[in-house]
Structure 1
């Protein structure tokens, strides 16, 4: 695996504003065809970091590169003008459902929501009008085709998470970001969250993108190709889970 596969690289990235402190000293990498899980004892911190990758927030220190574009304000502005763009290029990052940031009309059906997104992300002048013909096949990749005619408001947490993932991957961006702890998704069961981690890994490989997601569950984070704790409490939770897993494996043998 080469360095060219790295599409998100954070080095001591931190974000704070007007007395509010979010993620600090975040250091991780996300690669094409792989999943990367972010774990934090404060869900807002991992959510903010996902939004920073998408260009909604700008780290105030450290470095955050997405597809070679530096997003940190301290590095992007070295002179009077930024030497690079302050947001990732259009189409680089796909974003799932984030309450109050990237909402979806809940009165629409799953098929209508995804078809609309396909048309919005289609290249200008392309045959985006035909997107609807491919929607069911696309939804099948996320195990949600059977829910295509249901309104979004009727979906349970598992299918809402699947819809969020499907929306993030529309157009095969280089990076897709999903928050499994988003209020819109609701309370996922442990088993559903673990299954979703596997499904997201399949999506990352199928669509050739780096999929970065956050989860409040250490077991789900460990189910990703790589997992990163954003604070001491989360790091201890990961170590405890990994230690319990090692103990259970020893006992089983």
Structure 2
């Protein structure tokens, strides 16, 4: 196990220092991918990188979306000879106290994708809750199973060899559709997906980059692709399901 953290960031200069501070005690490389952020965020990132040798800062020339940033971070991690990357957001939504459990389960099942199963409080907007239920419905159809408990949470440990191999084979969505699509496609390829419950909050005054029209349109197109991709994979998916009965 040669582990690291991958942190995509876009204009979260208010929260990134606290996120970094929570991760530094693990003494693992922190690959922070600046997805074309504003000047205040770039200044904070430059200061953090200068202060902490564990930080590796990647800067994308322009904003390409969360998926583009995570992809760049995962590829960079594999190039460094690392085996697993824990993706975590920069906005403080994720509970870093659960990270040891993620690394432990990943060590026990190094070929698996380890993802958080979110436990939300009342801070979650109702519209986001409804959207998640709709996506869960479609993911269950696209995988012909209920194995995937949540496909949208960006707190997960990727096995890098299998993940980057998939990224080399298929062009995935580059924005908020990325987390969903990569999990479904890894599942299609036989990667086991395991879940750990973890608290998720929507901080008061927090900044969300979810674009209601654009991202819902991209997610709808992605589900259409995945649905038709499921049809010709259905015999294999059903056979896998039957073998586990």
Give the number of the structure whose residues are more often helix, by fraction: 2
Q: Which has the higher contact order (CA 8 A, sep 6+)?
A: 1
In the superposition, the TM-score normalised over structure 2's length comes to 0.31
Larger CA Rg, structure 1 vs 2 = 1
In the superposition, the TM-score normalised over structure 1's length comes to 0.30
